[in-house]
């Protein structure tokens, strides 16, 4: 049985971590394929909360091998801190594998990310300032340093010197900052990080294929989301990788025929953190309610998320871009306290109605949502585990979304805990 992908369908923080953890129960390998520690994936197991940034969400099961694929960008200092954090909570990280081809986030990447944001002023993107964009830029420029370079101090130093020749000019001459010292970075990466990271470095492409060929179950865990995708998202308000399902092929080294199931994770409403267009954004007390009740603050950065109604137009696009075979709807319980719930079914712009995302971004930026209003259920559903146990209005809300999107909603989240979900397929 080939591979499964979990992919975010909105602007991130849909609950990918929780559902990856849940689905990983039946997998023996969980692979991250893009992004870095800009991700924050929260798992709540037996009341204990784990906020993961780099380590795949399958790490909590002893029967899974967590893999960081070639498409990920890795800050080794953050990786080691996360391993230490997990170990202190009793999680065994010894099975973790990291691709030697993954690119390293270097201290100058992080500094440049923050400086670039400041330089943009009011036009800033609202990045996580983790160095993600500059690291992928160096990868595309072919001046990046890869995880496997940690194993060869001579090569590492050579590459670092070349990179710093350029970046130090930018730091000093463009941003009026002090240059970064080669020796300081080399010492930190080669002497402090490399001895510990080296034990995790592996040919992850071979691992994934050996596992698939021997009948193993592989789950690919997307970070970020469809509308943060560098190619398909709301550019330039996007991340610098390809979170869409196709990104798993490039970022882990598999072909499309290896994939059989693609699960889109969608929140029952929408959130976004950082700048950029958001047609269904709420600025009223309902928006405040979603933030308060949904605890909509960034897992890592603590930033207040922006909130809005569910957007079926975006979801139709997410279905196309990812070939979604099903949807997992999360945080339905957060809508418990609302009298009525709106769903955006189309956009209006330029006197036209759009059922799919308008191609031109000027039109998209001006799009006004067309809403249908549905009754709320005003009942606590957080303990419901069977579809029959849902209030009829909640069941109707799910059916309405399904009808709008055209893809089955199989799993539904009713709370953060591992057991707080229902499976509509059984
Ligand atoms: P991710 O980045 O997609 O993994 O999502 P985050 O972990 O950043 O944010 C999702 C938040 O919602 C986390 O705090 C989860 O514990 C929580 N969560 C996930 N699913 C549900 C759900 O169905 N109901 C509730 N109330 N919380 C959920
Ligand atoms: P998970 O995996 C939500 C957003 C940032 C910013 C934009 C670019 O937890 O869903 P970057 O640092 O990547 O260059 O920032 O992308 N962003 C996220 N928003 N969830 C995430 O990850 C995100 N990762 C990046 O807020 O708008
Ligand atoms: Mg998150």
For 374-394, what is each residue's pLDDT tens digit? 999 999 999 999 999 999 999
The ligand minimizing its distance to the Cα of 419 is 1
pLDDT over 90 at 299, yes or no? no
Lowest model confidence (mean pLDDT) among 44-48, 238-242, 396-400, 407-411: 44-48
| Structure-token pair, residue 141 | 């420029």
Binning pLDDT at 50, 70 and 90, where does residue 300 land? confident
Q: Report how far residue 234's alpha carbon sits from residue 34's, in angstroms, rounded to the nearest whole number.
A: 18
Residues sharing a CB contact under 8 Å with residue 391, sequence separation 6 or more, in sequence order = 377, 379, 381
For the chain, percent of residues with pLDDT exceeding 90: 97
Binding pocket residue ranges, ligand 1, CB within 6 Å: 8, 12-18, 40-42, 44, 299, 330-331, 333-334, 413-416
Query: Nearest CA to 101 among 238, 250, 215?
Result: 250
Check pocket membership of 224 for ligand 2, CB cut-off 6 A. Answer: yes
For the chain, percent of residues with pLDDT exceeding 70: 100
Instruction: Please tell me whether the peptide bond between 196 and the residue prior to it is cis, using omega within 30 degrees of 0.
Output: no
Q: Report how far residue 7's alpha carbon sits from residue 126's, in angstroms, rounded to the nearest whole number.
A: 22
E strand residue ranges, 278-351 = 306-308, 310-311, 326-330, 340-349
pLDDT over 70 at 200, yes or no? yes
Q: Phi, psi (5° rounding) for residue 210?
A: -60, -40
Residue 354 carries which DSSP code?
E
Check pocket membership of 20 for ligand 2, CB cut-off 6 A. Answer: no
Average pLDDT over residues 220-232: 98
Q: Report how far residue 247's alpha carbon sits from residue 240's, in angstroms, rounded to the nearest whole number.
A: 12
pLDDT over 80 at 1, yes or no? no
41 noted as active-site residue: yes
Check pocket membership of 393 for ligand 2, CB cut-off 6 A. Answer: no
**C-beta contacts of 295-302 below 8 A and 24+ residues apart:** 296/13, 296/271, 298/13, 298/40, 298/273, 299/13, 299/40, 299/41, 299/42, 299/51, 300/37, 300/38, 300/40, 300/51, 300/53, 300/128, 301/40, 301/128, 301/273
What's residue 136's pLDDT? 98
Report which ligand 2 atom has the smallest distance to the Cα of 41: 9
Strand 340-349 vs strand 368-375: parallel, antiparallel, or unpaired? antiparallel
Strand partners, 35: 72
46 noted as active-site residue: no
User: How many angstroms is it from 67 CA to the middle of ligand 2?
Assistant: 21
Residues sharing a CB contact under 8 Å with residue 169, sequence separation 6 or more, in sequence order = none
For 153-174, what is each residue's pLDDT tens digit? 999 999 999 999 999 999 999 9
Q: Which of 21, 26, 37, 41 is catalytic?
A: 41
User: How many angstroms is it from 285 CA to the middle of ligand 2?
Assistant: 25
Query: Nearest CA to 221 among 20, 14, 10, 61?
Result: 20
User: How many angstroms is it from 257 CA to the middle of ligand 2?
Assistant: 29
The residue whose C-alpha atom lies closest to atom 6 belonging to ligand 1 is 13
Is residue 277 a contact partner of residue 315, using CB atoms and an 8 Å limit?
no
User: How many angstroms is it from 120 CA to the middle of ligand 3?
Assistant: 25
The ligand minimizing its distance to the Cα of 225 is 2
pLDDT over 90 at 426, yes or no? no
Check pocket membership of 239 for ligand 2, CB cut-off 6 A. Answer: yes
Mean per-residue pLDDT of the chain: 97
Residues sharing a CB contact under 8 Å with residue 295, sequence separation 6 or more, in sequence order = none
The ligand minimizing its distance to the Cα of 226 is 2
Query: Nearest CA to 147 among 196, 113, 112?
Result: 196
For 76-110, what is each residue's pLDDT tens digit? 999 999 999 999 999 999 999 999 999 999 999 99
Report which ligand 1 atom has the smallest distance to the Cα of 295: 14
Report which ligand 2 atom has the smallest distance to the Cα of 241: 13
Q: Report the SS3 class of residue 295.
A: coil
Strand 97-99 vs strand 201-202: parallel, antiparallel, or unpaired? parallel
DSSP 191-209: IIIHHHHGGGEE-HHHHHH
399 CA to centre of own chain: 26
């Amino acid at each position: 049985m080939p591979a499964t992908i979990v992919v975010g369908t909105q602007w991130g923080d849909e609950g990918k971590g929780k559902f990856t953890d849940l689905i990983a129960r039946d997998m023996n390998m969980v692979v991250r394929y893009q992004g870095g520690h800009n991700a924050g994936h929260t798992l709540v197991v037996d009341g204990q909360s784990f906020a993961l940034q780099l380590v795949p969400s399958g790490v909590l099961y002893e029967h899974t091998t967590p893999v960081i694929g070639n498409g990920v960008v890795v800050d080794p200092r953050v990786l080691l801190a996360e391993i230490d954090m997990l170990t202190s909570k009793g999680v065994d990280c010894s099975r973790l594998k990291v691709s030697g081809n993954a690119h390293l986030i270097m201290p100058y990447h992080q500094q440049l990310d923050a400086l670039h944001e400041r330089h943009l002023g009011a036009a800033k993107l609202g990045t996580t300032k983790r160095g993600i964009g500059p690291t992928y830029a160096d990868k595309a420029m072919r001046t990046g340093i890869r995880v496997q370079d940690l194993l060869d101090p001579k090569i590492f130093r050579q590459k670092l010197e070349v990179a710093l020749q350029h970046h130090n000019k930018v730091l000093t001459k463009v941003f009026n900052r002090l240059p970064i010292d080669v020796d300081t970075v080399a010492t930190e990466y080669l002497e402090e990080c490399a001895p510990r990271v080296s034990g995790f470095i592996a040919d992850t492409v071979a691992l994934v294929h050996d596992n698939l060929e021997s009948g193993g179950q592989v789950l690919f865990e997307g970070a970020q989301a469809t509308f943060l995708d560098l190619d398909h998202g709301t550019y330039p308000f996007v991340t610098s990788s390809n979170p869409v399902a196709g990104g798993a092929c490039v970022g882990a080294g598999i072909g499309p025929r290896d994939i059989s199931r693609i699960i889109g994770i969608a929140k029952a409403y929408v959130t976004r953190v950082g700048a950029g267009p958001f047609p269904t954004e709420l600025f009223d007390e309902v928006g405040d309610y979603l933030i308060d009740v949904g605890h909509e603050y960034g897992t890592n950065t603590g930033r207040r998320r922006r909130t809005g109604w569910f957007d079926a137009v975006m979801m139709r696009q997410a279905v196309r871009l990812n070939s979604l075979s099903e949807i997992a709807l999360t945080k339905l319980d957060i809508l418990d306290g609302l009298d009525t719930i709106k769903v955006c079914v189309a956009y209006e712009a330029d006197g036209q109605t759009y059922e799919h995302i308008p191609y031109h971004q000027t039109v998209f930026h001006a799009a006004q949502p067309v809403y249908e209003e549905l009754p709320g259920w005003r009942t606590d559903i957080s303990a419901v585990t069977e579809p029959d146990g849902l209030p009829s209005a909640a069941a109707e809300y799910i059916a309405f979304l399904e009808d709008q999107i055209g893809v089955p909603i199989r799993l539904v989240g009713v709370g953060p805990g591992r057991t707080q979900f229902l499976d509509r397929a059984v």
